[in-house]
Structure 1
C-alpha cells in the first residue's frame, strides 16, 4: 500500500478502526482463494474478509447474478414486494430447522443480533439477557452490551442487564480441568444458580463457536443442556450463527446442530458468508416471536434486490458443490496438519476448531500466559510468505484465526499449512 493512502486513511477515519500489519495492506482484486495487493503481490487468503468470502473470490455465479440484478433494479426498500427477498427467505426458512419460521433481512451480523435482542426482550417483556463469557456479538449499542470480550467492549453502558455464563471456552477457566461431561454439568449447575438470583431473563445469546474469541467452543451438547434449563423457565435461546452458519464447521450446516438434541433455537441470526462479500444479515425465528412487535418497522437496505440476488446465487453454489462436505474433509486435513506442526512449536498452546474454522492459540512457552506479540509476529511472517490469516481471542488477542473460503483445495491447504509452519517456527 502507498504511504499516501495510509496517511489519507488516518486523516479521515477513526483511530479505533483497526488495520492489520505494520505496513497496512490494500487488496485490489481476488480470484478463487487468492487475492492481490496494490503492489501486485499474490496471497493465499485464509481469512476471507473475516469469514465473509465464503465460497470464493470473484465467483462467476455470484458476479453474474449481481450484474444481472443491477441491470434491472438495485433497490426499492421493504415497502414493496421483492421477489429475490421472498425467494431467499423461503430457502433460509426451510434450511433453518425452525418450525413455522419467519425471516427478516438486515445488512450485517451486528444488526441481526440487535434485531434478535429486540424481538426477545419484546416477546418476554424483560431486558435481562444471558450471554457467554469471551463472546462477541457486534458493534451496536445493544450488541456491545452483550459482548463478553473486554477487547471489543468499549463501554459498560447498555440498554440491557447482561449476566455472563460459563461454558464458551473449554480449556480455560474454573472448569477447564474437568472431563467433558463434568464440564457440562458444572456449567449447567452454574446457570441454574445464576437464574436463582435474577428476574426471569429474556434469552440466552450464544455463538456455537466463538469467533472473535479465538474459535473456542464448549463440548458438544452443552447448549442442549442449557436449553433444557431455559425451556422450563420460558427463556429463549438465540444462536448467533454469523460466523458458524452455512456448513463452515463441516460436521453440521448450523453450529447449533452440535447441540440440537432438544430441538432448534428459538431465534437464529446469520450474516457474513451468505452474501459472499455482499452486505447480507438476517434473523430467523418462530412466527409468534417474529410477529410480536406491535409497532411499525421497515428496513431500508436489508433485503435489497442486488444483495438478495447474490445470496441466492451463493447459497445455490454452496449446496450444489457440497462445500459443507469440503469444509469437513479439507478442514479435517488442515487441522491435523497444524496440530502436527504445533507439537514442535513451544509457543503453541492449543490448535482447536472444526471444519474450516481453526484457531491456533499462542502463549509464552511453558506457561498459559497470552503472547499477543507472538501472534502479531506470526501474522507478519505469514503475510511475508504469501498467506493472510486473522487474529482473535479473549486473552489479549493471542489466537490465530484460520477460515479460508469453503472451496479450499487440498493442495491449497497444504500450501497454507507450510507457510504457517515457517511463520510459527520464526517466532
Structure 2
C-alpha cells in the first residue's frame, strides 16, 4: 500500500497479549511478535508502506522506542565509529571540565546590540519586538506577540537549540492569518533576550521560571497550545507538568526523547537494549561531547549547516545574529550539556517527572518530524533526533496524529512552513 503525503496509516488490532509490530520508514524498520501488553496503538507516516502497533513497557518507554527500531548495517557501522569518537572527545574534554568547574559561577549578563540583528531583518524578521523585565533576579526577556489578541486559540511557540524566535518567522504569518494569536519568546540566553555569559547558570528551572514570568505578565494561565521544537518542547513539557491546566494541546516538532540518564548498565533487563540505544544516540553523544570540549568556541554555523544542507550564507548569518561573540554563547553552550545522558546528571529527575506526566496526561498531542537521515551534509533529514518518532507516538496522546514531512531538516517549521502550518491549524481547530 502506497500512502500519500501526510496521510495516516491504520493499524491492526492486538492479538491477545501479543503485539504485532511491523514498520518500514526513514532510517528505521521493525517487524516482530512481542509478548508485551499493549499500551497505546498509534501510528502515522508519509510515503511509506507498513504499519506499527506501539507496544509499551510500563516502566521504560525508552525500551519501547529501541524495540521499534531495527538498525541497518550502515547504522551500526556509523554508530560504532561515533561511539569511539565520543570516548576520545570525552577524554580530551574531562580535564578541561575539571579546570572550568574550579572557577566560581559568574552571573554577568550581556545584551546583543540591535545592529547585530541586521541579517535577520534582511531575511524577513520584521516583527515588532516586546520586552519584559521578569524580576526575581532574572534578566530582560524578548518575545513576539502577533495576531488577534482576542483569539480563542493562543499558541505559544518555544524555539530550540541554537535558535531563537526567528526560527518561527515563516510559520507565524500562516498561523495569524487564520486568526490565531501567537506568542514566540526568545528564551533567556537566545535571540534578543539578555544572556548570561556563564553556561553554568542555565538549567531547566531557570527557563521554566522565565517562561512562567512571561505568561503571568501576559495574563495567560490556561487553555494555551504549546508548539515546541527541540529543547523548546522539553521546557514547555516541564511547564505543563508543573501547571496541568496551562495547555490544552501539544504540538511536538523534531525534538529529543526527554532523555533521563539512559546510559545505565543496571537499567535494562534485556542486555541488547543499552548497546542498541547507544548506537541510536551516538550522533547526539558526539555533539554533546564536542560542546563539552569546545564550550563557547563550538562552531554554531557548522552545526546549523549540518541540519540542512540547503541553507544559504545569508540564512546562516540570520540564524546566528544573536551569537556574534563568545560572551553571547552561554545559552547555546548550556542546552546540549543540560541533556542527561547518564543517571548522575542533575536534570535526570526533571526529565523523569516529565515522562511520567506525559504517560498520565490526556492532553491531545500532534507529532511532526522531518525524515531521519544517516549522515549530515549528504542527505536531507534529521540525523540527530530524527529517529525519535516512535517514542512520542508511544508516550503522548497523539492517536493518529503522527506525521513525517519530506524535504526538510531538523528545523522543520522553517524548512516546510506551509505543511507544518496546515497540520497545526487542522489540529488546533479539531474537536479532539
TM-score tier by shorter-chain length is: under 0.3
Normalization by structure 2: what TM-score?
0.26
Normalization by structure 1: what TM-score?
0.26
